[in-house]
Amino acid sequence: MTSLYDWSYWFCEAWLVPLLTPLLYFQEHIMPPFSNPAGDLARWMESDPGLNVLAWTIVVNVALMIGFTNVIIVVYLERKIAARIMDRRGPMLSFHSLKEIANDLAGSIPEYGWKTTTYAGIGILQNVADGIKFFCKEMIVPAKADRLLYTIGPVIFISSSILLLVLVPFSPRVAASSAPLGLLVVMAAFSIAPIGVLTTGWACNNKYTLIGGMRSAAQLMAYEIPLLLSMAGVFLVAGSFSPMDIVAQQQEVWLFGIPMWNIIPQFLGFIVFMVCILAEVERIPFDLPEAEAELVEGWTTEIGGLRLGLTFAAEYIRGFVGAMIATVLFLGGWAGPFLPGEIWFLIKVYGILVFFIILRWTVPRIRTDQILLLGWKRLLPLSLVNLAIAILYVEVF
């Protein structure tokens, strides 16, 4: 069992389908002309495409659970760290503040005394409250919007982001799939998102969303090339696109008792990669597509309800996956002493995420023309230099 996909394929083949299909065949038997579809379904489930679909359904659900758990943790971290940077407390809604809320809703006057500490939790329920709020909101479609594109635009963005989670492994043991092209597929999935953004921006029939969508497309196109070039150095050294091989290669060379993770020989590539991945996941200082000061909320201005909530979650998923790729490529992935690999992997990923968060609350936003200049004039040559260094490195070692 090399991956979650293999396991779930085996599970479907050995257990799920043999248990389900007799029921369907029995149903086909008792009412022959009407229940033929049940038999067809059973035969499809036994075939290879059917097993594939069932296996992927399990994989995607597990990935979604893992992904959203991590999103909740990242959002909570972001709020708390932002609050610390801003010299305030941040969300405090917790389990024992629920009593106060219930009292408020019931209309009874709470007793405020020096002993009753109200709302003095650590804020873990804030995200739950946000989720409930998003569920309760009405999904309003603007009157002059293109209904079809307006509906599928966010879906493209959200689904392509969730697809990313399936493709990057946590460790050799915890991996959803073991595609040999690995990280190349991840980058392909990364670049689906601008289509969704541009579609939504156009379909909303709003000038803010239109400009936001345009900016997003321009920015993602400009940063795709240096991003892939900075990754090319790592691929060259490892000789493979697979995350397993890349991490294994980083353990091979040791210098003065330190493993030569790719961050040491290819530090330039690491810098270029981090800047580009910040631009790809659209966080400050590169969050132009949703610059709230000039474009209200950018391309998400007209989206509402659960669609908006899932779009926010998808943005965090993209940030999380960006940190995962950086860890695999440059920080030695799940390698580390004493602790299990998954723990090491999460430590490194969260380290990068905390860096993202601190950066977001410390620097202003950059301008559209400046971001494109930075991408084409600075990062592209630097990534080429990094590629040359990688070639030299391969020649020397």
Residues that bind another protein (CB under 8 A): 82, 85-88, 207-208, 211, 214-215, 284-285, 287-288, 291-296, 361-370
β-pairing, 254-255 vs 258-259, is: antiparallel
The nearer residue to another protein, 29 or 367, going by C-beta atoms, is 367
The nearer residue to another protein, 252 or 294, going by C-beta atoms, is 294
Cis peptide before 154 (omega within 30 of 0): no
- Rounded Cα distance, 244 and 241, in Å: 9
Q: How far is the CB of 75 from another protein (least distance, A)?
A: 16
- Rounded Cα distance, 361 and 363, in Å: 6
Q: What are phi and psi of 259, to 5 degrees?
A: -70, 135
Neighbours of 312 (CB within 10 A): 17
The nearer residue to another protein, 86 or 221, going by C-beta atoms, is 86
The nearer residue to another protein, 213 or 243, going by C-beta atoms, is 213
Q: How far is the CB of 87 from another protein (least distance, A)?
A: 6
The nearer residue to another protein, 99 or 377, going by C-beta atoms, is 377
DSSP type of residue 177: -
DSSP letters, 22-44, are HHHHHHHHHSTTTTHHHHHHHHH
The nearer residue to another protein, 166 or 211, going by C-beta atoms, is 211
Q: How far is the CB of 91 from another protein (least distance, A)?
A: 15
Selection from 73, 77, 121, 75 nearest residue 101 by Cα: 121
Q: How far is the CB of 303 from another protein (least distance, A)?
A: 17
Q: How far is the CB of 154 from another protein (least distance, A)?
A: 22
The nearer residue to another protein, 137 or 365, going by C-beta atoms, is 365
Count Cβ atoms within 10 A of the Cβ of residue 259 and give its class: 0-12 exposed, 13-18 middle, 19 or more buried.
middle
Q: How far is the CB of 287 from another protein (least distance, A)?
A: 7
Q: Is 108 left (phi over 0), alpha (psi -120 to 50) or beta?
A: beta
Q: How far is the CB of 172 from another protein (least distance, A)?
A: 40
The nearer residue to another protein, 87 or 395, going by C-beta atoms, is 87
- Rounded Cα distance, 206 and 279, in Å: 24
- Rounded Cα distance, 222 and 226, in Å: 8
Q: Amino acid identity of 231? A: M
Q: What are phi and psi of 254, to 5 degrees?
A: -120, 140
DSSP letters, 54-69, are HHHHHHHHHHHHHHHH
The nearer residue to another protein, 128 or 373, going by C-beta atoms, is 373
Neighbours of 92 (CB within 10 A): 16
The nearer residue to another protein, 283 or 348, going by C-beta atoms, is 283
Q: How far is the CB of 291 from another protein (least distance, A)?
A: 6
- Rounded Cα distance, 353 and 316, in Å: 10
Q: How far is the CB of 301 from another protein (least distance, A)?
A: 11
DSSP type of residue 137: S
Q: How far is the CB of 86 from another protein (least distance, A)?
A: 4
**Looking up tokens 């990935």, which residue turns up?**
63
